[in-house]
Amino acid sequence: MKKVLILSGAGLSAESGISTFRDSDGLWENYDVMEVCSTQGWAKDRALVTEFYNARRKDIETKLPNEAHKLLARLQKRYPKQILNMTQNVDNLLEKAGCTEVTHLHGTLTDLRCESCGEVFNVGYMPQEVDDTCTFCSGAIRHNVVMFGEMAPKYENLEIAIEEATLFIAIGTSGQVIDISAIANRFEHAILVNPKQEKHGSSGYNIDEFFEYFIQEKASVAVDELETLIDDFLTQE
C-alpha cells in the first residue's frame, strides 16, 4: 500500500491568520526565541514563558482552517491509512478541519503537561497560571510545546513515516528546524509547497533543488495542483 508523508509548518496556517516564526513579520521578529522557547529561558523566567504560550493559545481560539487544512482532511478521509500527517504546528487547525490522525512533532498549545509525572491535560484555550500544579502528583505544570534544548520525542514517528512512505510533501516550512532537504533526499518522489524559495542553511543550495516538484505558491493556492498530484500518485500503478 502506497503511503504519502505530509510534513507541514507554520506556512500552512499563515493564511488562517497565525503568524509564522521566521518570515519578516514572524513571531521571532517580536520575541527573543531563546527567552520564550528554550530550556534556558524557561529556567530563567517561567512567568514570561507561560504568558507567551497563554497568548498563543488565546490567539488560536478564533482561527479557522483554510483550504489547505481542508485538503489534508479530505485526503485523509479519501485514503485512510495512506496519508501520514505530521506537523510542526502547535495549533489545532488540522483537527478543526476534520483530520483525526495528526502527529504534532512540536507539541500542542491546547494541552498542558505535568513536569513530574508527564500527565497531559487538555485545557482548550484557557490560560495557565504559573504556579498551577498537577491534580495527580502535585508536580509543576508547564506548556506542552517542545523547547530548544530538549528532545522532541515524536521525531521517532517521523523517522518511521519516512521509512514507510514513498512520496514526501513539505508544506509551508523554512526547513530550519527539521531539515526537509535531507528528508527529500531519501525519497524518489518529493513535492515542496512554499511561496518563497528558501536557502538550505549555508550550503549555497536552494531547498527546492532537493525536491522533484516545487509548487511556488501559498498553500491555499497550491491546493488543486497538490490534490491532483497526490490522487495520481496513489491511484496509478
Task: Label residues 14-26 b or e (16+ Cβ within 10 Å = b).
Answer: bbbebbbbbbeee
Q: Coil, helix or strand for 133?
A: strand
Q: x/- contact string, 9-48, with ligand OAD (CB under 6 A)?
A: xxx--xx----xxxx--x----------x-----------
Interacting positions 165-204 with ligand OAD (CB under 6 A): 172-174, 176-177, 193-196, 198
CB closer to ligand OAD, 37 vs 141? 37
Contact 145, 107 (CB under 8 A): yes
Site string for ligand OAD, 213-232 (x = CB under 6 A): -----xx-------------
Asked if 27 contacts 19 with a C-beta cutoff of 8 angstroms, the reply is yes
Per CB under 6 A, 63 contacts ligand OAD: no
CB of 148 to ligand OAD, least distance (A): 7
**Other CB atoms within 10 Å distance of the CB of residue 192:** 28
Cβ-based neighbours of 27, under 8 Å, separated by 6 or more:
19, 20, 21
How many other C-beta atoms can be found within 10 angstroms of the C-beta atom of residue 162?
A: 17
145 touches ligand OAD (CB under 6 A): yes
Single out the catalytic residue among 69, 106, 143, 200.
106
Active site residue 69: no
Q: Which is closer to ligand OAD, CB of 138 or CB of 197?
A: 197
218: Cα separation from own chain's centroid:
16
Residues 192, 208 contacting (CB under 8 angstroms): yes
Site for ligand OAD in 93-132 (CB under 6 A): 106
Q: Nearest approach, Cβ of 141 to ligand OAD (angstroms)?
A: 18
Cβ atoms of residues 116 and 140 within 8 Å: yes
Question: Total residues at the site for ligand OAD (CB under 6 A)?
Answer: 27
Residue 217 is which amino acid?
E
The residues that touch ligand OAD, with contacts defined as CB under 6 A, are: 9-11, 14-15, 20-23, 26, 37, 88, 106, 145-146, 172-174, 176-177, 193-196, 198, 218-219
Enzyme catalytic residues: 106
